[in-house]
Structures are given as structure tokens and as C-alpha cells.
Amino acid sequence: MTDAASITIQAIGPAQAAQLSTLCYRIYPQHFLYLWFDAGVWYQQYSYNEAKLKQELEDPNVRYFFALQNGEPVGYLKIKLDSNLNDAPDGLEVERIYFLKEAAGQGLGTQLIEHAFFIARQLGKHYVWLHVMDSSHDSIAFYRKRGFGPVGETWLPFEQMKPEFRRMWQMKKLL
């Protein structure tokens, strides 16, 4: 087991889109294929292709960060700097915290969410919010432990996704 001190967080720039894409294609199948009729093929091609990620990395409202373990990417964080929930101003959205299964249990999720809180405070945000699948009990428990509470729900529109997994909770933490 690697201790949290050996994990560093590094901003990702547009020139690293290919590296991010490769990591996404490694992580996603380890966790989420059961959600899809097509084992996630469509979603991965839609979300993790290099061109799409490069476009997101060039968006001034989006930030990606690698979680590096001994210099190698083992996870990532995606945030939207200015994303308001239910018209409440001054929010920051955590869109993704994903990491390789072999990096689980080492404090990586905590470091990434704390990094998002740090950025939100730097920007003077009043809250951080996110979506989490209602069937993802471990993730919900993780976010509750860090002060998030449910404030709403939404449904994913993807036809390729099994209907029983489309419900998402909106969770919010005041800063």
C-alpha cells in the first residue's frame, strides 16, 4: 500500500489530452461497464476521445487534474469552476473523481475532493456540488462523510444506459 504522501496532484493542459484519454479508457471499464447495454462502448467513445477531451481542456470554465502516484497518473479530477445548482450563485461542480482500482484505499479520493474544496475557496465559491449515481452507495457514503448532503435528483438521458442506473442525486456542501 502506498501512503497518501506519495500522491501528487497536477493540472492537465490541452497538450496532455492523449494521456488523459488513455487513462480514462483504463479507468472506466474497471468500474462502470455494468451500467450499459453495450458495456460502455458508446459512452467511452463519446466522452473520452482525445478530441473531446482536448476541447474540454481548452474550456476556461473546466479544469482537469491528474492524481500521480510515483509520477504516474492513477486517477483524475474534473471540475467546472462556475457551475450553479438550482440558480444558486457561486458554485463549483465536481464532475468526476475517478481512479484506477489498484489505487483504491490510499486516500486518493480524499485528496482529490480536498483539492476541489481548496480551489473553490480560492475562487470565493459558497458551495461545491456534484452528481452521484443513486446506486453508488460507496460514493454516496464518501461524499456524506465529507459534508455533502442530497439536494435534488436528475436522470441521465442516455438510451444506451440501463434504465435502473439512470437516476443521479445532486449533492451539495456549503463552504
The pLDDT value recorded for residue 6 is: 81
- CATH topology (fold) of 4-174: Aminopeptidase (3.40.630)
Low-confidence ranges of the chain (pLDDT < 50): 1-2
The pLDDT value recorded for residue 1 is: 39
Q: How many CB atoms lie within 10 A of CB 90?
A: 13
The pLDDT value recorded for residue 12 is: 98
CB 98, CB 29: distance < 8 Å:
no
Q: What span, in angstroms and rounded, lies between the C-alpha atoms of 106 and 46?
A: 30
The pLDDT value recorded for residue 141 is: 97
